[in-house]
Amino acid sequence: MNTVRVPSPLRDYTGGVARIGASGSTVAEILGHIEQQHRGMRFRMIDEQDRIRPHIRIFVNQREVRSLDEAVAPRDEIHLVCALSGG
């Protein structure tokens, strides 16, 4: 099970929880597992063409994910980051 860090704009889907667990060997599988647990959350991050939405970034540990096919190791931490606008 990997740890996934959820940014506050998406926490409505996780009941306010900042860290959730999800399993998978690729980013796509992790996102699929997130969607099973928190319906509608994947669509906030991924568009209909399976592209990461332009105001969302996904990082595996410190590394930026550019493709959903990228591999995820068992202990990797997934960080979902959302563009914030407040000042």
Partner 1 sequence: MTLNAAERERYSRHLLLPEIGAAGQERLKAARVLVIGAGGLGSPASLYLAAAGIGTLGIVDHDRVDLSNLQRQLLFDTASVGAGKAVAAQARLRALNGEINVVAHELELRAANALELLRQYDCIVDGSDRLTTRYLVNDACVLLRRPLVSAAIHRFEGQAMTYVPGQGPCYRCLFPQSSAGAAPSCAEAGVLGVLPGMLGALQATEAIKVVLGIGAPLVGRLMTYDALAMEWHEFRFRQRADCAVCGDVPSITTLADSEASCRSETTGQWPRYKPEELARQLRAAALEQRKAPLLVDVREQHEFATGHLPDSVNIPLADLGLRLEELPADCAVVFVCRTGRRSLAACDISSLGGLRSVADLEGGLIAWAAAIDPSLNVA
- The span from the CA of 23 to the CA of 29, in Å, is 7
Tell me which DSSP letter residue 28 carries.
Answer: H
Q: Which of 3, 8, 25, 37 binds partner 1 (CB under 8 A)?
A: 8
CA distance 87 to 85: 7
- SS3 for 79? strand
Of the candidate spans 20-28, 30-38, 75-83, the one that interacts with partner 1 by CB under 8 A turns out to be 75-83
Counting residues that bind partner 1 (by CB under 8 A) gives: 27
Task: Name which of 19 and 69 has its Cβ closer to partner 1.
Answer: 19
Cβ proximity to partner 1: between 25 and 53 the closer is 53
Binding to partner 1 by CB under 8 A, coded x per residue (else -) over 11-50, reads -x---x-x---------------------x--xx---x--
| CA dist., res. 47 & res. 8, Å (int) | 20
